[in-house]
Structure 1
């Protein structure tokens, strides 16, 4: 009898977590501080460190988290980190790990935002972003190309949605969330027709929490911080795919709808996300800081950055921890998979359209003539990324910044 109890005790110890929550939080903090390379690289680091080397997470648990992160809207790497925190330590673990992963890059963009407002008018910073802006367009273009090849395959309906979304973005210079939802519903109806049943479909349940976000602008949204909270909540709730999927959505609202940033400042914001570690979506902190700090000073800039970041990451946090207990049972339902495929095709099309819109505004001067140094930087960036597929993007951005310092005096005469 005693031996049986001993075996049970050993077994229960072995099936429990072999690490402390503080260790996982410290790992997330470290990865958020030094993890360059974008979402694909970050999820690869987590697999290498947590599954292969430390064996804190099993292969099955990792795959479940990655699938859920791909299925739900939100930044891929942040959602995977949140899920891995949830695996053994529940909501507390997911919360602490998520905050630790995002916090380092958030503090970095705050510092850069302050420096940008204080010294953005001096020539060396203008020169840096002169080169970086053109390079960022090249990076986004290559990312859109890779995502297109990887995602669409030979499905003609996905291609039709992709082209429609790209054309709509180019013509309107904005991103239409209703087009995203419609694309998901079209693929859902075609692949897995939701004929009337006695119970609601999983896809319908997925849409309910975010349905109200497509409503028209609310009359009470007059305060700037409330506008920031509302807009970035929508951004966090509708960003499917890689971190760059948020770029066209942000561009339409930040530049056109609210006018918080101009075209060049928006490209600078994307560039800041490229040169800092952690999730690319952290650019929202930089945008929030500029939107509030330009007129009201750095303390309101801090408030704007905090509200923007919280509003963006809260939906992806909820979309991770709420379905986590039920994901094994329902996550592979055909309706949900089809809906996500449709939304993803529309999102990638919007990224492709945003490349055209932003590229046109970046490489053409006020008279509509090409800015040839920027054209050269754009093409060189694309050629380098196509030739050296594993080259970290921050190195490319750094090289573009140096090129901008050299070329800017000649370009501006």
Structure 2
């Protein structure tokens, strides 16, 4: 008897209800969402095996874009192929998308009211603690050997000090993992044994299938971009949103936090769509809503469309910008999974691939640390200067511009999360309430 047939296969209706539950309860950013999916589909329902889940996770960390949403799409594909992947990926996004669009409207209309301003001030402080906790949690999972720790440090130096492009860091990490895995496999910290007893049937890759996937999802991705350029021209803000977030979907490797670092710097410094504080406010909104953390890009697109689209009233421009940013961000995610998953499932037992994926995950930790520093500087200090040395330029804080209230709230939030172990939503609620009190009564 084929042991693979022992895996319980849920009905599509049962899977739909489960993915809706995941979409509604997926708070806590990528780390919390991945942990929740693991508990539901591996521990409780036993729909996929532990090795299969971890292998898929490492693959999604390698891809550009949000790893948690792509992981949901991957698992949905494992269970019910294309319709399962589409259902899981969409239901992971839609509840949070509806909420973030509503909250973005509240933000642009009433944020100057002291109550609303104080709320976002407090959320901004709590977000710093959440990002730092994410560094810690992901590091514990990924850096299980000294070599991986050194690789993570090298990635941080490369992206923060040397300002190397992330794709180059990814390629370097993959090559290092492959070489070390071949020459000194013990340096990789060992590998988890594969469990073929829990494997689901795979799909044979084929050129015909690849062409169909490329055509269908290529049209879904590029169709709106071409239409906007024909209708409004390439300089219209909606056209620029479609191109920018499409480029982001291709070049921003390393998961949600790496995407945020790239988008934050580009949207603030290059396009001028929003201020650094507004980026952190959007991250706070995304942290308090279900769905991928990367839905902060919906907020960025909303503000860009609201301010500059020329569509009246501004809310319509904001909604257009937010939905467009979301569409071109997530459409490629389905393309990556549906193209790559069949090949990855065939290569699950290849040690060299596993070593390369583990090395990339280690490098991502260094990238997330870079994000934490960038957010901390732009949140704690009201003014930033620049330090130049040869071809490099780094942001440095103007120390006299330190915001003591922000620093205190951020420190208390870190204490609550990292030492007292209070839940993330409680920390966000407490920091938001404290921010309101500061703005109303200070």
Q: TM-score, normalised by structure 2?
A: 0.74
Match of 1:3 in 2: none
Cα separation, partners in 2 of 1:157 and 1:66, compared to 1, 3 Å: closer
C-alpha contact (below 8 Å) 2:173/2:356 kept by paired residues: yes
- Distance of 1:226 and 1:65 partners within structure 2: 34
- After TM superposition, the structure 1 = structure 2 runs for residues 4-83 of structure 1, keeping only pairs within 5 Å, are 18-59=9-50, 61-83=52-74
- Distance of 1:375 and 1:233 partners within structure 2: 35
- After TM superposition, the structure 1 = structure 2 runs for residues 8-407 of structure 1, keeping only pairs within 5 Å, are 18-59=9-50, 61-152=52-143, 153-155=145-147, 156-168=150-162, 176-181=165-170, 183-184=172-173, 187=176, 190-191=179-180, 221-295=234-308, 296=311, 297-331=314-348, 333=350, 336-337=353-354, 340-341=357-358, 343-366=360-383, 368-389=400-421, 391-407=422-438
- Distance of 1:352 and 1:53 partners within structure 2: 33
CA drift of 1:365 comes to 3.2
- Distance of 1:266 and 1:52 partners within structure 2: 36
- Larger mean CA deviation between 234-243 and 34-43 belongs to 234-243
C-alpha contact (below 8 Å) 2:8/2:46 kept by paired residues: no
CA drift of 1:139 comes to 1.8
- Distance of 1:136 and 1:57 partners within structure 2: 33
CA RMSD of superposed structures (Å): 3.2
C-alpha contact (below 8 Å) 1:131/1:400 kept by paired residues: yes
CA drift of 1:123 comes to 1.6
Q: TM-score, normalised by structure 1?
A: 0.79
CA deviation vs aligned residue, 1:204-231 (integer Å, no higher than 9, x gap): xxxxx9xxxxxxxxx9853322322222
Cα separation, partners in 2 of 1:15 and 1:336, compared to 1, 3 Å: closer
SS in 2 for 1:276: coil
C-alpha contact (below 8 Å) 2:59/2:357 kept by paired residues: no
CA deviation vs aligned residue, 1:78-130 (integer Å, no higher than 9, x gap): 12211222123211221122111110001010000111111122221111111
- Distance of 1:243 and 1:388 partners within structure 2: 26
C-alpha contact (below 8 Å) 1:185/1:342 kept by paired residues: yes
C-alpha contact (below 8 Å) 1:240/1:343 kept by paired residues: no
- Distance of 1:44 and 1:150 partners within structure 2: 11
C-alpha contact (below 8 Å) 1:105/1:277 kept by paired residues: yes
C-alpha contact (below 8 Å) 2:139/2:365 kept by paired residues: yes
SS in 1 for 2:146: coil
Query: Which ranges of structure 1 fall in alignment gaps of 5 or more residues?
Result: 1-7, 170-174, 194-208, 210-218
CA drift of 1:394 comes to 2.1
